[in-house]
Structure 1
């Protein structure tokens, strides 16, 4: 094989690989909203009227949407902190859609979208390290489960809106974002448990 043929094979392989990435399925509903200033906002949890579906989640094999590469870390954290593996996975799905580099508008970081002040309290050194983030996020969620006597929906609401808000409202705060968040996590939790 001459040098030119080798280069063509390499270029062809790279093109084939990149085309595979370009047609990979999308697994989360993404909503779009254009504000009065013309700024486009995207979210997986609409917080106000006016958002429209921009990308629709495919309703097929749930395992495809749960990135298997993190399963060992999720299992380790779940066992260490006594939280169901499927629940941790559902939180990650809704928080970051398994994107370890995710950063929210409010500054939450990594797979479990941990706020910087919680990172400091949990002694999380690198919020973008998947293993560290999952261990710290699961530890934090465990503390919320303990605070709310094992009530999963209250702990989820606290994970999203803050424990003080859940205390103040004596339940899930009446915020559209928090209500939708709890509903979505519970949806994925049930689906992951069903396998």
Structure 2
């Protein structure tokens, strides 16, 4: 089976969030800005997915690096998880042809169906060769158990295709994460979503640096030089560690707290109905592929909303 070259494209992984019914005019105006920031966060993840897909192409074909089909497949899979349609098609092609992977029409059919649903014409044509869609999903696309610490995930694979400046910041995030008992994957997800690893970033709300600390949060976690990359990252990781303890390891609530503040999470007893925050949480969960994270209960008492929110989360499995 032949495979042509196609232009890269991204898609809305989880879609825009609905605004709360009955919002007042001031909230609606704020949500315009929120939607714009949410779209910017989504663009960061789409860009990262393209990085991974491009790196996968290099390893699949030996372009500038040693040819490693298995590594290419892993990179394609991670990119597909983040919504890259070309990665879905390419991984499906590898399964359909048994190139570096065990041949599986069932897995190929699933991946082609995913890509075709998103408008990939060649994937739609390839479905005639793989048979009817039967719902088989490759193991690499299955979310790992909540207790597993990011099995098979490689920070270096995500960092490798970045620019030199972004690599330096990304490695600092990953290296420091262990000091705060935070998964490197979660630390990188927050840093990418916040600033795209820009140590000089400033938001309209005066959030500063890699981890986009507002002045109050910087002071709370003893950050005196917010544009010093290491000091800023340490402050952001300290806050994230506190949020994980406060929300008892719930990644969605911790991410929502990081974006909107823990009081907003408590006010709405879950992820607030702000377009920016819901898009933010969606990006982080898509990157993480799991909802739970280890935490140190000694850091702080739990939020008073935790028992009820955890019950809803366990029953519904969603945000």
After TM superposition, the score normalised by the length of structure 1 is 0.66
Aligned to 1:35: none
TM-aligned CA deviation for residue 78 of structure 1? 1.1
> What corresponds to 1:169 in structure 2?
268
Structure 2 spans left out of the alignment, 5+ residues: 1-9, 13-32, 53-157, 290-319
Alignment of 1:1-195 (within 5 A): 43-46=36-39, 57=47, 59-62=49-52, 63=158, 64-65=161-162, 67-190=166-289
Residue by residue, what CA displacement relative to the aligned partner does 1:127-167 show, whole Å, maximum 9, x if unpaired? Answer: 11111111110010110000000100000000011100111
Distance 2:167 2:249 in 1: 27
State the shift of 1:44 in Å. Answer: 4.4
CA distance, structure 1, for counterparts of residue 281 and residue 267 of structure 2: 17
- For 1:58 and 1:139, the matched residues in 2 are separated by 25
Contact between 1:45 and 1:180, CA under 8 Å: does it hold in 2? yes
CA displacement, residues 88-117 of structure 1 (integer Å, 9 cap, x when unaligned): 111111100111110011110000100101
Contact preservation (8 Å) 1:89, 1:189? no
1:169 Cα shift?
1.1
Q: Find the aligned partners of 2:273 and 2:181 in 1 and give their Cα distance.
A: 29
Gap change, CA 1:135 and 1:96, over 3 Å in 2: same
User: What is the DSSP-based 3-state SS (H/G/I as helix, E as strand, rest coil) of the residue aligned with 1:107?
Assistant: coil
Q: How far, CA to CA, are the matches of 1:80 and 1:58 in structure 2?
A: 25
Distance in 2 separating the partners of 1:98 and 1:73: 10
Q: Distance in 1 between matches of 2:252 and 2:177?
A: 17
Whole-Å separation in 1 of the counterparts to 2:50 and 2:39: 23
Distance 1:188 1:112 in 2: 17
Offset, 1:174: 1.1
The number of residue pairs the alignment matches comes to 145
Deviation at 1:122, TM superposition (A): 0.9
Superimposed CA distance per residue, residues 9-65 of structure 1 (whole angstroms, 9 cap, x where no aligned partner): xxxxxxxxxxxxxxxxxx9x9xxxxxxxxxxx8944249xxxxx9xx7474233335
Question: Where does structure 1 lack aligned partners over 5 or more consecutive residues?
Answer: 1-26, 30-40, 48-52, 191-195
RMSD: 2.7
TM-score (norm. length: structure 2) = 0.42
CA, structure 1 residues 183+155, in 2 after alignment: closer, same or farther (shift >3 Å)? Answer: same
Q: Distance in 1 between matches of 2:274 and 2:239?
A: 22
